[in-house]
Structure 1
Amino acid sequence: MALIFHVSDLHFGAEDKAALAWFAREAQAQRPDAIIVTGDLTMRARRREFRAAQDWLETLPAPLSIEVGNHDLPFFNLFARFADPYGRFERLERDIERRLDLPGLDIIPLRTTARVQWRLDWSKGHMTPARVEQAKGSLVRAHGPIRLIACHHPLIEPETRGTARTHGGREALEALALAGADGILSGHVHDPYDRTIEIEGQPVRLIGAGTLSERVRDSRPSYNAIRTEGEALAVEIRYAA
Structure 2
Amino acid sequence: MTRILHLSDLHFGFHRRALTDDLLHRVNDVRADLVVVTGDVTHRAKPAQYARAAQFLKGIETDWIAMPGNHDVPLFNPLLRLLRPWARFRQTISDQLAPSWRSGNVQVLALNSADPFAIQRGVLRRGQVAAAMARINPDLTNIVALHHPLQHRPGVDKNLARRAALTLEMLESVGAQIVLSGHLHVWSAGALLDPVAGGRVLQIQAGTALCARPGDMRNEFCVLDIRGPELTIERHVAPMDHPGFLPPEYLHFSRVSGRWHPGGHDPDQETEPLPTEPGATDTALSTAKTG
TM-score (norm 1): 0.89
- Aligned residues with identical type, % of pairs: 28
**Structure 1 residues 201, 161: CA separation in 2 closer, same or farther (over 3 Å shift)?**
closer
Aligned partners of 1:162 and 1:190 also within 8 Å: no
**Paired residue for 1:194, among 177, 189, 198?**
189
Q: 2:212 aligns with which of 214, 226, 229?
A: 214
The runs of at least 4 consecutive aligned structure 1 residues that moved more than 6 Å come to none
CA drift of 1:201 comes to 8.4
Structure 1: segments with no counterpart, 5+ residues = none
How do 1:100-115 residues align onto structure 2 when only pairs under 5 Å count? 100-115=101-116
Q: Which has the higher helix share?
A: 1
- Aligned-pair distance for 1:130? 2.3
What aligned pairs does 1:179-190 form with structure 2 within 5 A after superposition?
179-190=174-185
Does 83-92 or 67-76 show the bigger shift?
Answer: 83-92
Partner of 2:8: 8
The runs of 5 or more residues in structure 2 that have no matched partner are: 239-244, 246-291
Contact 1:162 1:189 in 2 (8 A): no
Task: Quickly say closer, same or farther: Cα 1:150–1:15, change in 2 above 3 A.
Answer: same
Instruction: Say yes or no: does 1:178 pair with 2:173.
Output: yes
8 Å CA contact retained: 1:178, 1:202: no
Report the aligned-residue RMSD: 2.1
| DSSP 3-state at the match of 1:197 | coil
Change (3 A) 1:229 1:197: same
* Structure ranking higher on relative contact order (CA contacts 8 Å, 6+ apart): 1
Letter in 2 for 1:128: R
Count of residues in correspondence between the two structures: 234
Q: Does 1:85 align with 2:117?
A: no
Q: Which has the larger radius of gyration?
A: 2
Written as runs of structure 1 = structure 2, the 5 A alignment for 1:113-152 is: 113-117=114-118, 122-139=119-136, 142=137, 145-152=140-147
Tell me the residue number matched to 1:35. Answer: 35
CA distance in 2 between counterparts of 1:175 and 1:219 reads 35
Q: Secondary structure at the match of 2:94?
A: helix
Q: In the alignment, is the contact (CA less than 8 A) between 1:44 and 1:72 conserved in 2? A: yes
Structure 2 match to 1:203:
200
Q: Residue 191 of structure 1: CA displacement? A: 1.4
CA separation of 1:160 and 1:16: change in aligned 2, threshold 3 A: farther
Q: For residues 163-201 of structure 1, give each alpha carbon's deviation from its aligned partner in whole angstroms, at most 9, with x where no partner exists.
A: 352221111100001111101100000111101536x98
